Amino acid sequence: MYNSQDLAIRIKSVAKERKKIIKDMLVELELGSNTMSAMYHGKSIAFDSLAKIADYLDCSVDYLLGRTDNPNLTTDTYSGDNNGVQAINNGNHSSLTVNGNSKTDTEELVELIQNLPLIKRAEAILYLNELKTKK
């Protein structure tokens, strides 16, 4: 799946490119001073720590994971606003509109959630679980 050594190398590369000092980044993000060393030695990093690092380096988590070659954040990622996504519930009928395309299938909602950045995906899943338990 994902190699923590590759992740550490990419983080180091982006930090150097952005003229950021790894030690300063770890202190500012309140991450352990051995975080990078642990990744170089095959240890995984928590998803929220990875998201913090991506935010600090102003790049996407997908880039750090090697899922894309584009380090820049794109305007189509979720940023906390509706961003082209609208959910409508009219009684027994739910409709999800994504960038103008109406979707009514649960699979479309799952696909939308899967395309969110990792931290937002976790928040969405927690929110849906809260809704489920309220019923």
- Taking the chain (135 residues) in runs of 10, the rounded mean pLDDT of each run is 87 94 95 93 91 92 86 52 45 48 63 79 78 70
pLDDT at residue 1, as a whole number: 62
- The per-residue pLDDT for 100 is 53
**Domain-embedded: residue 31:** yes
Main-chain dihedrals φ then ψ at residue 101, nearest 5 degrees: -100, 120
Whether 72 is covered by a domain: the verdict is: no
pTM comes to 0.55
pLDDT score for 68: 83
For tokens 């960038």, the residue is: 99
Residue 103: enclosing H or E segment and its boundaries?
Answer: strand 101-103
Residues 28, 60 within the same domain: yes
Is residue 108 in a domain? yes
Specify whether 90 is located in the same domain as 122. Answer: yes
Q: Give the other-Cβ count within 10 Å of 45's Cβ.
A: 21
Same domain, 91 and 126: yes
The whole-number pLDDT of residue 26 equals 96
Same domain, 9 and 40: yes
> Model confidence over 97-115: pLDDT tens digits?
555 555 555 777 777 777 7
25 part of a folded domain: yes
**Domain enclosing residue 19, as ranges:** 4-65
- DSSP one-letter string for 13-42: HHHHHTT--HHHHHHHTT--TTHHHHHHTT
Number of domains into which the chain is organized = 2
CB 44 within 8 A of CB 4: yes
Residues 107 and 54 in one domain: no
